[in-house]
Amino acid sequence: MFEILSKAVPAFAVSFLLTTWLIRWGIPKLETDKGDEPLPESGATDKILNVGSVGFWIGFCETLLVFTFVYKGEYGALAIIIGAKQFVRKENIQKNPSYYLLGTLINISLALLFALWAKALIGP
């Protein structure tokens, strides 16, 4: 059990920190599509890890779920994450679809890659 945690926790932490940094500092610097509203002020604060932010905890839980689903081999369950975000953020997604799609794809893609890496390190 300790071996699993010693390999999975660092991979989870790097994945979460990298995606948080990309979403908070990288995405707001991109240009918006012509029909989109201005991007949300994700990088407006000096803190990258703003634990008082709902988005921080959503991202944390999203990354944790991706790691759990990958570890258990339940790749189809990743659709639950996308479906839940679509349902909850419907109004925001309609205003600026590119921003929310890119944020979700960054988080899921990096979490999936790091989870697969951790799973390969852990072994069968």
Q: pLDDT tens digits, residue range 12-29?
A: 888 888 888 887 777 766
Q: b/e map of 18-41 (b: 16 or more CB within 10 Å)?
A: ebbeebbeebbeeeeeeeeeebbe
Spans of all domains in the chain: 2-27+49-122
Give the separation between CA 111 and CA 14, rounded to whole angstroms.
9
pTM, 2 dp: 0.73
At 113 the pLDDT is 92
